[in-house]
Chain A
């Protein structure tokens, strides 16, 4: 039986653990600590938790001040607000001075669900990735989230971690090793290279298993480190396999797919296809309904792989 745990839950727990070992860790939220799960830390370390109220610009700015004083601030809200509303503060007061602020934002992507497009940021990877010196990470499951939070705290500099609302299957056990700047090959096959991140890793694996039964062998890479990208792993694989499909619960403009295109664009003989949210807005519906509607289910991936193979 597979366990299902939301990455935000794993984040809350990891944060509380981190707080035990390092007194420099402070946590800030903007009136969403129940949803972002920073409440777990707040309960344990009330003196190191700061609820900034519904004020995301103040949230990020205050976190920057904490970092100037040598603290390791984790600033959390919904991704829409933490990097959407406060984008320019993140740029000018965190990334430009290269401060040690960790922005761990939950409820990214379509899977916020019923709240609709105003809350469904499918642009956050584009918005954060573009800032020099910013590390951008997307965990695929709870195990990876926990390791990522630890790695982010140990890393000197600004980090963005994209967390989701919905429960996702546990893909990795404790033998899994996340490293900033490292992509993980989690399945091998010669016919197509599938590069996925976040909640798309599980359906991509499922699709790969289905494809196997139909005679198509896929390599699946979990690309949790969007920036820095693991060129050493991805380039040789792409050169060898030739056909690449990227998968993300993000706009196909500016996210993982774009990053991979930027990386592989210089090499002849490699075709990169992007699967994600096309240039359109989200809408209200339960998460599963949205994933179906926007063609992010395993069967959609199978279909897309076949189409891509027909084209190349």
Chain B
């Protein structure tokens, strides 16, 4: 477990990156707001605590890899990558604009840390498994992380990949699943309940941790624990609040896929500015 100073630092990065996300989405006037805000602690813990990667040497062969399966939350990834130094934050201006590497959904550009094109839900788990199998074949000690969402768990292909990772005992695989209960048309439990996810993954041969995904200490310790698991892939089911950090967006399906208006942005930034890590 890292020191409380480190936790505070990670919380502070999360706060800043939430503001970055809101600003880039506001500028783009299109994109998904709720998801990226809700999963920020996990993204920050991966990029600034857990993963071995080097923005100065982005193609370093022994880097850990991250696949953002729920690609519509791309702004959270872009915020982390720019903050880490893969590309300048001025690029945020061009999100979703013609010719910009910051496409609406990730488009592969490993030199910028964008490992894979994603956006069509359900495909990332298998892709990350392929990376993990290759790492095993090459006897590399790298770890392969992927992020998923609860809506994504309605895709059949996710379960094909889950079955493969369990069957092949991919203990270099760690998935995080942003369980915010919300998808586009409303609450997940009203559309097609994916619960109980822990039992489902366990039945497929996974080690499962269930945590509060907005609690940095819990996120960090789950990532540490996952590394100790042998003979199984790990699934971290993270209960989160969609829109976390901005009261008007929190737990509101309506804000899944809309961007903040001028007034909302002002309010949101003010609110995020008021937060000081406890």
Contact = CB atoms under 8 A, between A and B. Distances in A.
Interface of A: 26, 47-48, 50, 52-53, 55, 57-58, 60-71, 73, 88-89, 92-93, 96-98
Interface string B5-26: 0000000000000000000000
A67 B127 CA distance: 9
Given A50-B133, A65-B126, 4 more contacts: A58-B161, A60-B126, A69-B138, A97-B107
A62 B108 CA distance: 16
A47 B138 CA distance: 11
A88 B120 contact: yes
A242 to B, nearest CB: 43
B205 to A, nearest CB: 14
B133 A58 contact: no
Nearest to A56: B160
B130 A73 contact: yes
B123 interface: yes
Nearest to B132: A65
A71 B129 CA distance: 13
Interface in B108-132: 108, 115-120, 122-132
Nearest to B122: A57
B137 A57 contact: no
Given A57-B157, A57-B160, A61-B157, A69 B130 contact: yes
Contacts of A98: 108
Interface string B176-220: 000000000000000000000000000000000000000000000
Q: Per DSSP, are chain B's interface residues mostly helix, strand or loop, or mixed?
A: helix
Most buried by B among A47, A57, A68: A68
Interface of B: 65, 107-108, 115-120, 122-135, 137-138, 156-157, 160-161, 163-164
Nearest to A52: B164
B163 A68 contact: no
Nearest to A60: B126
Nearest to B161: A58
Contacts of A57: 122-123, 126, 156-157, 160
A68 B138 CA distance: 13
Contacts of B126: 57-58, 60-62, 64-65
> Which 10 A/B pairs are nearest by Cβ-Cβ distance?
A65-B130, A61-B126, A69-B134, A58-B160, A55-B160, A62-B130, A97-B108, A57-B157, A97-B117, A65-B127
Most buried by B among A65, A73, A92: A65
Contacts of A53: 163-164
B119 A92 contact: yes
A101 B161 CA distance: 18
A92 B117 contact: yes
Contacts of B156: 57
